[in-house]
Amino acid sequence: MNKFFVVSFLSLGIVSTSCGNSDESSESSESTKSVTTANVNFNNKEDTISYFLGTTRVENLKNAQFYGELNKEMLIKGFKESISIDSQTVQKMNKKITELIGPDGQDFNRSNLDSGSFYLGKFDKYMLVVQLKEFGVENVFNLKMVENGFQDALNDKSKINESEKQKIQERMSELVEKAFTEKQINDGLAFLKNNKKNPKVKVTASGLQYIVMKPGKGPKPKATSKVKVHYHGTTPQGEVFDSSVKRGEPASFPLNQVIPGWTEGLQLMSVGAKYKFYIPQELAYGANPQPGSAIKPYMPLVFEVELLAIEK
């Protein structure tokens, strides 16, 4: 998970504009290419990784072909603005950035340099805040130190040298993974705890939860049986990640070759039954979900399963 998170977290689609309450009164008509270096003191490791994160935002920004044209002072002002994550703010940023670089990022308009630079900085801050909240790691970083890192890197006066970068990034990865893991586990536990309040929900000794949607009358499979089923799998939020029902074709597989929640749950069912299972992460994929799916690490899963036959 570390490499995926760090790559996702440090990325910035600065040219794609389709993505604090600030008004244009925060903007300045005075154009300048110089900025003042921040006065930074690293009090702890969290401050250091926060500052480092700010410098990485500039590294991504430098990939834009129009970087050298931008008003650095206005970029910093925009980045230091408080951000409210709402559609009105996004629409305004989108409009202002498009006025500067065009809808495809290829039509740079110098007459909109100050306001465009300001909103590019603000958009970058917005993207950062969204990412922090999405991964549940907003408490890992000190936003003031992120701003300081951004400011210094824009002025090519970063206080982090090349030899320190790898060590700091490793530390950031550790802290982020720890915070992300704790959030995912706690969110899953909260979902299952709340789900148990439903009087229809039954719970096994392992923690597997289920509802009998339709009882069956046939035999029950063993842990080594091969079964034929229809199923519909979703995240706790209802996002579908796999469904034989949607494909219109039942699936067959041995019960000893699936996740433990399925192995246990299907043995409760008689042929013809339909159950809804709420599977704790430790009985699902744990820290290693299916690549490319909607399943996140440590996520409980929800399945509706109909047992059609025991094939052997």
- Exposure of 236 in the CB half-sphere (CA atoms within 13 A): 22
Q: Which of 101, 123, 242, 278 is catalytic?
A: 242
Alpha helix stretches (DSSP H) within 161-229: 162-195
Q: Please check whether residue 188 lies inside any domain of the structure.
A: no
Please confirm, yes or no, whether 285 is among the known catalytic residues: yes
Q: Domain ends where: 180, 211, 240? A: 180
pLDDT in tens, 55-107: 888 887 787 777 788 889 999 998 998 877 777 778 888 787 787 777 766 66
Does the structure show a pLDDT above 80 at 292? no
User: Do residues 44 and 174 share a domain?
Assistant: yes
Q: What is the DSSP letter of 175?
A: H
Q: Please check whether residue 245 lies inside any domain of the structure.
A: yes
User: Do residues 208 and 278 share a domain?
Assistant: yes
User: Do residues 113 and 203 share a domain?
Assistant: no
User: Do residues 128 and 247 share a domain?
Assistant: no
Q: Please check whether residue 96 lies inside any domain of the structure.
A: yes
User: Do residues 170 and 264 share a domain?
Assistant: no
Nearest 5°: phi and psi at 170? Answer: -65, -40
Q: How far apart are CA 87 and CA 84, in angstroms?
A: 9
Q: Which of 79, 150, 285, 298 is catalytic?
A: 285
Using DSSP bridges, classify how beta strands 226-234 and 251-254 pair: parallel, antiparallel or unpaired: antiparallel
Please confirm, yes or no, whether 241 is among the known catalytic residues: yes
Does the structure show a pLDDT above 60 at 23? no
Does the structure show a pLDDT above 60 at 40? no
Residue pair 192/238 in contact by the 8 Å Cβ criterion: no
Residue 175 is part of which domain span? 2-180
User: Do residues 60 and 151 share a domain?
Assistant: yes
Q: Which of 5, 118, 126, 231 is catalytic?
A: 231
Q: How far apart are CA 121 and CA 143, in angstroms?
A: 14
User: Do residues 105 and 53 share a domain?
Assistant: yes
Question: How many domains are contained in the chain?
Answer: 2
Q: Please check whether residue 191 lies inside any domain of the structure.
A: no
- CATH number for the domain including 276? 3.10.50.40
Q: Please check whether residue 193 lies inside any domain of the structure.
A: no
User: Do residues 14 and 152 share a domain?
Assistant: yes
Does the structure show a pLDDT above 70 at 11? no
Q: Does the predicted TM-score (pTM) go above 0.95? A: no
Q: How far apart are CA 4 and CA 9, in angstroms?
A: 8
| In the chain, % of residues over pLDDT 90 | 42
pLDDT in tens, 153-210: 898 888 888 888 888 888 888 888 888 888 889 999 999 999 999 999 999 999 999 9
Q: How far apart are CA 58 and CA 297, in angstroms?
A: 30
